[in-house]
Amino acid sequence: MRRPGITDYPVTETIEIGSLDMAGLSDIAKKHMDAAVAEAAETGYPPDDIARTMLSFVILVMREHKEPKDIIDELQYVADNLDPDREYTFMRP
């Protein structure tokens, strides 16, 4: 089974407000992640090494604005939903 790459994640569409185009948050993050992966590759580092390093910086930024418990909850949610083949059961309302 192939692991998802950075290009496998959905990107939000550009939002046009008047004559000003504003990139979505996913667009901004993907642009910087793609650049970091490319630069790391030029120096011989694999994508997962730069991703792990960037995650450390992401957590530092989150710590400036969130309580540790909230960060743990967000990371746990992501970890719980890593398997793209996982089937979810839904309850009827």
pLDDT tens figures, 3-59: 444 445 444 445 454 545 557 899 999 999 999 999 999 999 999 999 999 999 999
The answer to whether residue 85 is domain-embedded is: no
Q: Which residues contact 6 (CB under 8 A, 6 or more apart)?
A: 30, 33, 34, 37, 47
The answer to whether residue 55 is domain-embedded is: yes
Q: Look at the block and give the residue holding tokens 């909230």.
A: 70
The answer to whether residue 1 is domain-embedded is: no
The answer to whether residue 92 is domain-embedded is: no
The answer to whether residue 53 is domain-embedded is: yes
C-alpha 10, offset from chain centre: 10
For the whole model, what pTM was predicted?
A: 0.64
- Bridge partners, 43 (sequence order): none
The answer to whether residue 28 is domain-embedded is: yes
The answer to whether residue 19 is domain-embedded is: yes
Name the residue range of residue 54's domain. 6-80
The answer to whether residue 86 is domain-embedded is: no
| Number of domains making up the chain | 1
